[in-house]
């Protein structure tokens, strides 16, 4: 009689996240996309915050129930409203100080400030939308590089998770003394979310999100080193 071989103590551990991954059948969409259950628009926005901060695993699990990029970018646009208002307030105060401060009164045309602020309000949202989509593409490419897409839910889900998560990061980044923690914590949360969506190891999702940042920091450090070596800062 041949006995069963004992388990290999040197075998890599299985990802508990994948073992505990719930079947998405029967799950409701995330609140912002669940109009049937939550008809009120601002109530859906508020429930997004509640779900993310109370049950982030469920947040990303329920995100995989639906598809499409329209809803994530609409949510991003809603989160951009207070950010744009804050930026315009700061630039408005600085602009008025420059135009009507001591020794500068009458030197600037009256139409310059509203034109600049209006241009910012028009350019900033599409710029953020494009950069977030590009970030989503990079996240998916890095997740593929770290072999996290073998059970992939698709590129669209990566972009959806990136856009939704960045909307929250955007709000937190403008809170004093919280911005850095919001950016780093949001990146970790996005990595966990990608692992949930694509049914892979948690470390693969987190490393995939931080890979572009590490590469950018490395390139910037290399540029500074070459500039110093070449006497560019003399």
pLDDT at position 233: 54
Q: Give the pLDDT score at 2.
A: 44
Domain ranges of the chain: 67-229
Return all residues near 45 (Cβ < 8 A) that are at least 6 apart.
32, 75, 78
What pLDDT, in 10s, does the model give residues 166-191? 999 988 887 778 888 888 999 999 99
How much is the pTM? 0.80
Nearest to 144 by CA among 77, 194, 92: 194
Q: Are 139 and 211 in contact (CB under 8 A)?
A: no
Residue-level pLDDT at 96? 64
Res 100: pLDDT: 61
Counting as low any pLDDT under 70, the low residues of the chain are 1-25, 94-114, 230-234
Q: How confident is the model at residue 206, as a pLDDT?
A: 95
Q: Which pLDDT score is estimated for 122? A: 80
Look up residue 68 and give its DSSP letter.
-
Give the pLDDT of residue 4.
46
Q: What integer pLDDT is reported at residue 129 of this predicted model?
A: 93
Longest pairwise C-alpha distance within the chain: 100
Q: How many CB atoms lie within 10 A of CB 86?
A: 11
């Amino acid at each position: 009689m041949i006995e069963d071989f004992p388990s290999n103590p040197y075998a890599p551990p299985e990802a508990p996240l994948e073992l505990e991954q719930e079947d998405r059948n029967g799950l409701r969409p995330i609140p912002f996309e669940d109009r049937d259950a939550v008809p009120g628009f601002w109530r859906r926005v508020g429930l997004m915050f509640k779900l993310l901060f109370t049950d982030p695993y469920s947040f990303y699990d329920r995100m995989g129930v639906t598809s499409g990029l329209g809803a994530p970018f609409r949510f991003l646009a809603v989160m951009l409203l207070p950010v744009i208002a804050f930026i315009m307030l700061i630039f408005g105060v600085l602009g008025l100080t420059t135009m009507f401060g001591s020794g500068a009164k009458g030197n600037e045309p009256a139409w310059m400030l509203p034109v600049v602020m209006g241009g910012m309000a028009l350019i900033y949202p599409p710029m953020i939308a494009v950069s977030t989509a590009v970030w989503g593409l990079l996240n998916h490419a890095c997740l593929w590089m770290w072999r996290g897409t073998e059970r992939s839910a698709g590129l669209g889900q990566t972009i959806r998770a990136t856009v939704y998560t960045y909307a929250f990061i955007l709000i937190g980044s403008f809170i004093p003394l919280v911005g850095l923690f919001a950016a780093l914590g949001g990146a970790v949360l996005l990595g966990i979310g990608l692992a949930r969506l694509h049914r892979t190891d948690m470390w693969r999702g987190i490393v995939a999100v931080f890979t572009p940042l590490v590469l950018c920091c490395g390139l910037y450090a290399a540029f500074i080193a070459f500039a110093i070596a070449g006497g560019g800062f003399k």
